[in-house]
Amino acid sequence: MAPLLFEDIFNIHKIDPDGKKFDKVSRIEAQSDKFDAFILLDINIDVYRINKDKRYTIGLATTLDLDGVADSGFYNQTSRETLADRYDYVMHGRTYRITDIDYEGQEKGEIFVSFGGLLMMMRVDKSVSKNFQLDQRLFLLMKRTE
């Protein structure tokens, strides 16, 4: 089983589109290349700096194990390589809402995830959103792409 449910390269178009709300958190708006996905994502900028008009690879996975073995909920302290080693920024959270919508004449799915209060909304084609489940544990993985 492949650990990644979704991965694409996103172009960040806006940072804090509704104004800055918190000192250490910024919200980004970005559009992806391959799946034409739109994402609103809160990021702890004290930990990971982001830049407008840059490209970032964002992935969503149910486990960090490279073989796709289900996550046990406990941190594995071994020195084995994980998916997290291939990215710069990782968050863990749960899906709290999944909806099907008609967006500009296309059937899309919206996936909402909370990463300990940092929120994500991703609007993507239903062929992708059908891979996600309500109350599913997810890892968001992010790295800058040149």
Between 37-41, 76-80, 128-132, the lowest mean confidence (pLDDT) is in: 76-80
- pLDDT tens for 47-79 read 999 998 889 999 999 998 887 777 776 666 677
Task: Give the CA distances from residue 119 to residues 13, 33, 73, 111, 137, in Å, rounded to whole numbers and listed in that order.
Answer: 18, 22, 20, 11, 14
Q: Which residue has the tokens 């809402």?
A: 97
Determine whether 78 is exposed, middle or buried from the number of CB atoms within 10 Å of its CB (0-12, 13-18, 19+). Answer: exposed
pLDDT (0 to 100) of residue 74 = 66
Rg (CA), the chain: 15
- pLDDT tens for 7-16 read 999 999 999 9
